[in-house]
Amino acid sequence: MTTRFMTNGGLCLRHRKCDHRRLKRVLHFRSPTRKYHCDAVVVACFDHRFDLVLRKFLKRIRVVNPDPIIVAGGAKSLASPDHDSDREFLLAQVEKSVRLHGTDRVILLLHSDCGAYGGLHKIFNGDEEAEVAHHRSELRIAHQVLKGAFPSVSVECYFVDFVGVWQLDSFAVSSDHARPD
């Protein structure tokens, strides 16, 4: 098996025509070279406040090899994009994951106090129930857009707030997942 390590002359052993002499390695790390099957495309916002809960949640639902699509507003780009090109970009990324990594599952996330929506206090006047109702509606739209483009892909929708992750069934929130008062 050929590796991607540099020779003394700066040539890549895998691609003898490569010339890496102008590059300086700043970290030595062996990444897997084999193709992988993606457990799920994960569409989420880049808000750092939710990074840890997202990682823990993905682990809990057994998503080990995700193809993350991290953009401002997450699923907002499907439901109510600022520009049509935002939706087109996101759909193209999902298509690439399906084609290249055999993805058959998409996880859509929206979160509380999202700046892409204007935030909890500015847009929803601090009314958490109004925010949840709005994001529930947005997730339904995003779900429909994805299912329209990829009918055979499983789509799961979640709302993340500062106390947990809440699942939205495809068309209604069941009592098992209802948000506490």
Residue 14 has pLDDT above 70, yes or no: no
What's the rounded mean pLDDT across residues 158-173?
Answer: 82
Three-class SS state of 41: strand
Confidence of residue 27 (pLDDT cuts 50, 70, 90): very high
List of domains in the chain: 1-33 (no CATH), 40-177 (3.40.1050.10)
Q: How far apart are CA 87 and CA 84, in angstroms?
A: 5
- CA-to-CA dists, residue 125 to 80, 122, 128, angstroms: 20, 6, 9
pTM above 0.85, yes or no: no
What's the rounded mean pLDDT across residues 28-44?
Answer: 95
Closest listed residue to residue 45, CA positions, set 137, 120, 111, 129: 111
* pLDDT tens readout for residues 119-138: 999 999 999 999 999 999 99
